[in-house]
Amino acid sequence: MSILASLTPRSGLRVLVTAGAGGIGQAIARGFVESGARVHISDVDPAAVEAVVGGAITGSVADASNEAQTQALFDEAQDRLGGLDVVVANAGVAGPTAPVSEISQSDWDRCIEVNLRGAYLAARFGEAELRANKGLFIAMASVAGRLPFGFRTPYSAAKWGVVGLAKSLAVELGPQGVRANAILPGIVEGPRIDRVIQARADQLGISFEEMRDRNLAKVSLRRMVTAEDIAAMCLFLSSPGGSNISGQALSVCGNVESL
């Protein structure tokens, strides 16, 4: 196999992507389909799932933080696809933007539940198939999982946990041929980051544009990344060329220096 060919995932991979009906998740799902994979997605929004499914994409309605719903999701995905080669634990929420003293327990818990418990449940219910197929687990973390993030403490705490989960799974499951990695997106352009920027701008009493510029000043390349950038990393990790990458926290961020 040539080096160039090794950068493309083999055709026929069976992939599950949580929160795959929009944003980063949808870009990942469509990227895998372009490479010849069959993909099963989940989302909490039935209409969003219905809008994406078709062709090589099937889907389920499921809350990534709910044990019973996640188990049912994996059962349906395995039934539809005949097994799993790649699991992408992508589900996440931004959580509150506030000083820690003003964050309610319910807001804290919900952020941890979706971002960290969701990744754990995906690993728990996916590991048997991944062991059987020497597969790949990808956990979606954030640059907030390698940098401190004031006023976003539950989000940062969860994403540091996601990195620890992926690294630990790499050690635990590596002897069975399973790889596990975390991807750390930076500032990903789109409606979600716009809401986060607006919330912090409102706190500081400045405009959206000024807050956005302040954020980008912390990025060496002075630009946001795209959902397609994150999807490309997922595809590379799933390719023969990525077959010896495991236990890593891989930033796709334009070099975010601080948050």
Separation between Cα atoms, residue 108 and residue 98, nearest integer Å: 11
189 pLDDT more than 90 = yes
The tokens 């975010």 sit on which residue? 256
Cross-strand pairs, 59: 41
- Above pLDDT 70, what percent of the chain? 100
* CATH number of the domain that residue 135 is part of: 3.40.50.720
192 pLDDT more than 90 = no
* Average confidence (pLDDT) over 3-25: 97
Cross-strand pairs, 185: 252
User: What pLDDT, on the 0 to 100 scale, is given for residue 204?
Assistant: 94
Q: What is the pTM of this model?
A: 0.96
Same domain, 240 and 218: no
In order of 33, 151, 217, the CA distances from 95 in angstroms are 30, 10, 23
215 pLDDT more than 90 = yes
Same domain, 215 and 115: no
- Above pLDDT 90, what percent of the chain? 98
Residue range(s) defining the domain that contains residue 52: 5-186+226-244
Same domain, 81 and 198: no
CA angle 153, 225, 147 (to 5 degrees): 30
Q: What is the CA radius of gyration of the chain?
A: 18
120 is catalytic: no
Strand runs (DSSP E) across the chain, as ranges?
14-17, 38-43, 57-61, 86-89, 136-140, 179-185, 249-252
Same domain, 171 and 231: yes
Q: What dihedral do alpha carbons 198, 117, 163, 240 form, nearest 10°?
A: -110
Asked, for residue 107, whether it belongs to a domain, the answer is yes
How many domains does the chain fold into? 2
Active-site option among 155, 160, 179, 197: 155
Minimum mean pLDDT range among 126-130, 195-199, 214-218: 195-199
User: What pLDDT, on the 0 to 100 scale, is given for residue 196?
Assistant: 87
Asked, for residue 30, whether it belongs to a domain, the answer is yes
The per-residue pLDDT for range 22-71, each reduced to its tens digit, is 999 999 999 999 999 999 999 999 999 999 999 999 999 999 999 999 99
* Average confidence (pLDDT) over 141-146: 98
Contact (CB, 8 A) for 84 and 32: no
Cross-strand pairs, 179: 136
Minimum mean pLDDT range among 53-67, 97-111, 192-206, 207-221: 192-206
What values do phi and psi take at 226, rounded to 5?
A: -115, 160
User: What pLDDT, on the 0 to 100 scale, is given for residue 92?
Assistant: 97
Separation between Cα atoms, residue 130 and residue 121, nearest integer Å: 14
Burial 183-204 (b: 16+ CB within 10 A, else e): bbbbbbeeeebeebbebbbeee
* Average model confidence (pLDDT) across the chain: 97
Same domain, 232 and 107: yes
Cross-strand pairs, 126: none
Separation between Cα atoms, residue 81 and residue 92, nearest integer Å: 24
The per-residue pLDDT for range 87-136, each reduced to its tens digit, is 999 999 999 999 999 999 999 999 999 999 999 999 999 999 999 999 99
Q: How confident is the model at residue 78 (pLDDT cuts 50, 70, 90)?
A: very high
> In sequence order, what are the residues at sequence separation of 6 or more whose Cβ sits closer than 8 angstroms to the Cβ of residue 102?
none
